[in-house]
Amino acid sequence: MSIKDILIHVDPAPVSDGRLHLAADLARRYGAHMIGVGLGDTTAEGIFRTTLHGENLAGEWRPTTGTEESLASFVTCHARAADLVVLGQYASDLGMVLDSPEDVILACGRPVLMVPCAGHFERVGVTVLIAWNGGRESMRALHDTLPLLTMAAGVTVLSVDPDPDEDWGTDDVVQHLVRHGLNAKAETQSLIDLTPSEAVLSRTADLGADLIVMGAYGHSWMREVILGGMTQEILSTMTVPILMAH
């Protein structure tokens, strides 16, 4: 199934520009409708509408009249009818207002493309690294990302420090991707003075990958979001866009 609706959160600050242009590239590639969401101020709406006009794309703006504290709930609510959600990595010094993108990732039930707050990313999905551990979240992320892999030149399924007594089904996953017409291969990496997230980011840099695909691990408890260690670490140190699913 193709991508036909892309929801993107827009900040009232220039940090949104790279995120918007990446989402616009995807909308153009798939003929998708763009849905911009953000605080109800003219700055964020103006940034969004300028991008739509400049890229000649169809879209709409949905502002929240609530507070920054309710913004994550607003984005989560409107994400239910989107094929892809695009959010920015939070940085308090860049005028960003969605300070808890992890709330959306864990609650929206949709694939979320997280875009780093630093750097410029022309496109995603040409050289892809899938962080694989055989778990439910990992499987969900892999299958959610298939529409983004139509232009992939290479896909690496990376297992970091796998338990030799467990079957992660890596070979089956690689063959599944191959049957989708993808140039996929499996790799295993041991942890030597690295955390799992450092190992993933290091191999991403070695491959020149433009997209990481991984499951988001964590849960919400009494309205407090508790992330798994690797998910939390990679969200704070990410260097390329990451497709996450929970």
Q: HSE of 77 in the Cβ direction (CA atoms, 13 Å)?
A: 10
Say whether pTM exceeds 0.85.
yes
Q: Please list the ranges in the chain whose pLDDT falls under 70.
A: 1, 66-69, 217-229
Superfamily of chain region 127-244: HUPs (3.40.50.620)
Q: What digits encode the pLDDT tens for the residues 191-234? A: 887 888 889 999 999 999 999 999 886 545 433 444 456 777 88
Angle in degrees, CA 229, 70, 141, rounded to 5: 40
- Establish whether domains 5-115 and 127-244 are of one fold: yes
CATH architecture of 5-115: 3-Layer(aba) Sandwich (3.40)
Structure tokens at 2: 């193709």
Domain ranges of the chain: 5-115, 127-244
C-alpha distances in angstroms, 27 versus 5, 30, 51, 139?
8, 5, 12, 25
